[in-house]
Amino acid sequence: MEDEENIEEELLLVESQLNGLQDKIKTLLDQQEELYERQAQLKAMLEISKTSRDASNSAPSVALEDWSGKFSWDSQADDTRFNVFGISSYRSNQREIINSIMSGKDVLVIMAAGGGKSLCYQLPAVLRDGITLVVSPLLSLIQDQVMGLAALGIPAHMLTSTTNKEIEKFIYKALEKGEGELKILYVTPEKISKSKRFMSKLEKCHHAGRLSLVAIDEAHCCSQWGHDFRPDYKNLGILKIQFPSVPMIALTATATSKVQMDLIEMLHIPRSVKFVSTVNRPNLFYRVYEKSSVGKVVIDEIANFISESYPNNESGIVYCFSRKECEQVAKELRGRGISADYYHADMDVVAREKVHMRWSKSKSQVAFGMGINKPDVRFVVHHSLSKSMETYYQESGRAGRDGLPSECVLYYRPGDVPRQSSMVFYENCGLQNLYDIARYCQSKKNCRRGAFFQHFGEAVQECNGMCDNCVSSIELKDIDATYHTKITVSLLQEMQQNDQRATLLQLVDKFKTKWKHSGCSNEAVDLKKEEIEQLIVQLILDRVLKEEFQHTAYTTNAYVVLGPLWKPALQGNRPVKLTSAIHSQDSGDRFKSAKRNQMSNLEAKLDDLRRTISSRNGGIFPHAVLSTEQISLLNCHTPTTIAELEKLIGKVKTDKYGSDIIEVMWSETGSGKDSGDGAKRQKKDKGVVFVESGEEEG
């Protein structure tokens, strides 16, 4: 009997030790996974650095070459740039890239969206004799390019599944026999990997010395480490093998060192000359809005945002989670008077072309979907978060490709994270990538631009007040959520012991019930539903919790379970902080819409001022000088000193525009250094009437 008790006691002890050990193993496995990841990155970086060193050793001309020097084609290139493309000067790296291509080198170009990659292969295509082959992943992108080139009078065609027989015949003749006028031929990667007929025509073209250049656009699609892997891109290596003497240019807006390494290897261009430009898009204003859990409210907010900020039919794109959602949101926006068209790559050709044309010609304001190429897109709205920072960078980067100020707005709610995670968890690094962008969205303090620099491993540059967090006037506070975390973890622990699971939203409900029962005697603050969601996602990002997936016949469900670091969180050893806005976004927006169309004199003057400053600063976004919310705030609080102003609009803007703003404030409110003047004071008193301060005072 006693023996049995002893055994049972020891059994319990062993079991609890085993549990502890299993947790440690889990943590170690997670660490191992991270280290493997880092190991792969470092290996890739080492390899790239070796490759470029080998390349420069074996071909010293590459290292010695000055790509910005003088070349025999200079005057012809300048003439084509100006007279054909209508471009008055090169942007950063364009000339060097064109020169290296013209010298017959293979080239790898990493240049931000809208940086001007197309010119880098289109100009050499025009200058060199023969036909340039361009591989591009999306029909819509190809259509845009071909349309654009046609407008410039450059003979360009595309050969895709939608090309009619007659044009196909024309293209094949041009390739095979050099008949007809063809300078640039666009194809999708499937043509290279799947059409033997096409490849044999291309071979003939090359054999006759008429294949002048091969360009691989959106080259990141080659790499499964990239955000947009396309299996057919993997087969493009064949091009360099079959046409070794033809220069190849691979272009992308984003490539981590790992992806660069992959590209060089897969495309067989180890000696390529590499040009890397900054990822910074200084003309884009980035912001994240809190997204309501009520679908209709979100649509109202988007509709308000568009009609208020872009009343003159300026073009924009809205990205949604799924095609179905695109269709729905487009319909609802139309119902609210916004001319919105729904557009995606799989639509039937005629319908797609119609939509595309309407939008390109600015007959409709908003387009939905992907891969649309219009330089004067003034805003890109994300109805829900993208699946990675790279994807977001690329999609939001469709705004302002003409270099003019534009805006990128993402509507975020934590509940959208599991929607995405159940789609991406099976992808290579899918969850890790998603959590990176979730971190971007959850942050209320960090510079949005800084997040891009960090993600792409680039030195930080000035944001210049071009993101919400850098210019925010919303007061933030840190809530101590250590106790809430304990409750969440113990809740999940109990559930897991009973073999139960909960989705994020179910967990929020369970949390609320448990919170009520816990008596609230604790000093911890009561969290709003949105804050609980935010906390749970933060705990997932901090690995206190994690997501687990279960497949059913129709769908994949994401559940929240204990993560590797749940124990210290349960013991309260690691304080958890949640950043919260004292004034919620919502009330700010309500404030804004209440003031809409009722601009006071002061607001009108501040609006003028922001336009003057923006044009004085080379056309930066007026919104970036002072947002409409900030104008309302100034109107309300009428600051008359720099110190007061700084409290309302932050340091960066005050340093830059403070004296101008204060001047307007003084002129309108009659306040200022010399406000001892009775008449001015009287004017100020009048100005204050609308905030009813007189009544309060009296």
Q: How far is the CB of 141 from ligand ATP (least distance, A)?
A: 7
- Answer yes or no whether residue 680 interacts with ligand ATP by CB under 6 A: no
- Residue 115 near which of Mg ion, ligand ATP, none (CB within 5-8 Å, type-dependent): ligand ATP
From residue 655, give the alpha-carbon distance in Å to each of 471, 612, 659.
12, 17, 8
From residue 534, give the alpha-carbon distance in Å to each of 247, 412, 542, 589, 660.
50, 10, 12, 20, 39
Whether 491 and 586 have beta carbons less than 8 Å apart is answered as: no
Q: How far is the CB of 536 from ligand ATP (least distance, A)?
A: 35
| Residue positions counted in the chain | 698
Q: How far is the CB of 364 from Mg ion (least distance, A)?
A: 23
- Answer yes or no whether residue 117 interacts with ligand ATP by CB under 6 A: yes
Q: Which residue of this chain has its Cβ atom nearest to ligand ATP in the complex? A: 116
- Answer yes or no whether residue 37 interacts with ligand ATP by CB under 6 A: no
Q: Which is nearer to ligand ATP, 191 or 401 (CB)?
A: 401
- Tally the C-alpha atoms within 13 A of residue 564's C-alpha that lie toward its C-beta: 13
- Answer yes or no whether residue 135 interacts with ligand ATP by CB under 6 A: no
Q: Which is nearer to ligand ATP, 397 or 563 (CB)?
A: 397
Whether 407 and 285 have beta carbons less than 8 Å apart is answered as: yes
Using CB under 5 A as the binding criterion, the count of chain residues that bind Mg ion stands at: 1
- Residue 637 near which of ligand ATP, Mg ion, none (CB within 5-8 Å, type-dependent): none
The first and second tokens of residue 279, run together, are 């990822």
Alpha carbon distance 666, 678 (integer Å)? 14
Q: Which is nearer to ligand ATP, 83 or 521 (CB)?
A: 83
Q: How far is the CB of 82 from Mg ion (least distance, A)?
A: 21
Q: At what angle do helices 628-637 and 601-616 cross, to 10 degrees?
A: 130
Q: At what angle do helices 416-424 and 430-442 cross, to 10 degrees?
A: 160
Alpha carbon distance 343, 22 (integer Å)? 50
- Answer yes or no whether residue 429 interacts with ligand ATP by CB under 6 A: no
Q: Which residues lie across from 472 on neighbouring strands?
A: none
The first and second tokens of residue 102, run together, are 């013209």
303-309, long-range: CB < 8 A, 24+ apart? 303/333, 303/336, 303/337, 303/338, 304/589, 304/593, 305/381, 305/409, 306/333, 306/338, 306/365, 306/366, 306/379, 306/381, 307/337, 307/338, 308/592, 308/593, 308/596, 308/628, 309/379, 309/407, 309/623, 309/628
Q: Three-state DSSP class for 402?
A: coil
Alpha carbon distance 500, 515 (integer Å)? 19
- Residue 119 near which of ligand ATP, Mg ion, none (CB within 5-8 Å, type-dependent): ligand ATP
Q: Which is nearer to Mg ion, 236 or 576 (CB)?
A: 236
Tell me whether strands 315-319 and 377-382 are parallel, antiparallel or unpaired: parallel
597: number of Cβ within 10 Å = 6
Q: How far is the CB of 548 from Mg ion (least distance, A)?
A: 39
Q: Which is nearer to ligand ATP, 255 or 625 (CB)?
A: 255
The values of phi and psi at residue 212, to 5°, are -90, -25
Q: How far is the CB of 111 from Mg ion (least distance, A)?
A: 9
- Answer yes or no whether residue 149 interacts with ligand ATP by CB under 6 A: no
Whether 401 and 620 have beta carbons less than 8 Å apart is answered as: no
| Ordered alpha helix ranges (H), 90-228 | 94-102, 117-127, 139-151, 165-177, 189-194, 196-207
Q: Mask: binding to ligand ATP, 58-97, rule CB under 6 A, as x and -?
A: -----------------------------x--xx--x---
Q: How far is the CB of 87 from ligand ATP (least distance, A)?
A: 4
- Residue 79 near which of Mg ion, ligand ATP, none (CB within 5-8 Å, type-dependent): none
Q: Which is nearer to Mg ion, 114 or 687 (CB)?
A: 114
- Answer yes or no whether residue 318 interacts with ligand ATP by CB under 6 A: no
Whether 197 and 210 have beta carbons less than 8 Å apart is answered as: no
- Answer yes or no whether residue 111 interacts with ligand ATP by CB under 6 A: yes
Q: How far is the CB of 195 from ligand ATP (least distance, A)?
A: 25
Q: Which is nearer to ligand ATP, 119 or 326 (CB)?
A: 119
Q: Mask: binding to ligand ATP, 356-395, rule CB under 6 A, as x and -?
A: -------------------x--------------------
Q: Which is nearer to ligand ATP, 378 or 413 (CB)?
A: 378
Q: Mask: binding to Mg ion, 90-119, rule CB under 5 A, as x and -?
A: ---------------------------x--
- Answer yes or no whether residue 113 interacts with ligand ATP by CB under 6 A: yes
Q: Which is nearer to Mg ion, 142 or 569 (CB)?
A: 142
Q: How far is the CB of 111 from ligand ATP (least distance, A)?
A: 5
Q: Which is nearer to ligand ATP, 406 or 638 (CB)?
A: 406
Q: Which of residues 209-268 bind ligand ATP (CB under 6 A)?
A: 253
- Sorted by sequence, the CB contacts under 8 Å of residue 240 that are 6+ apart come out as 106, 214, 248, 267, 268, 269
Q: Which is nearer to ligand ATP, 111 or 532 (CB)?
A: 111
The values of phi and psi at residue 577, to 5°, are -115, 140
- Answer yes or no whether residue 114 interacts with ligand ATP by CB under 6 A: yes
Whether 630 and 592 have beta carbons less than 8 Å apart is answered as: no
- Answer yes or no whether residue 401 interacts with ligand ATP by CB under 6 A: yes
Alpha carbon distance 525, 510 (integer Å)? 17
Q: Which residue among 115, 247, 415, 564 contacts ligand ATP (CB under 6 A)?
A: 115
- Site of tokens 């919502």: 586
Q: Which of residues 510-539 bind ligand ATP (CB under 6 A)?
A: none
Q: Which residue of this chain has its Cβ atom nearest to Mg ion in the complex? A: 117
- Answer yes or no whether residue 118 interacts with ligand ATP by CB under 6 A: yes
Q: Which is nearer to ligand ATP, 112 or 302 (CB)?
A: 112
- Residue 465 near which of Mg ion, ligand ATP, none (CB within 5-8 Å, type-dependent): none
Choices 19-27, 107-115, 197-205, 350-358 (CB under 6 A): range interacting with ligand ATP: 107-115
Alpha carbon distance 42, 112 (integer Å)? 24
> In angstroms, what is the C-alpha Rg of the chain?
29
Using CB under 6 A as the binding criterion, the count of chain residues that bind ligand ATP stands at: 17
Contact footprint for Mg ion (CB under 5 A): 117
Contact footprint for ligand ATP (CB under 6 A): 87, 90-91, 94, 111, 113-119, 253, 375, 397, 401-402
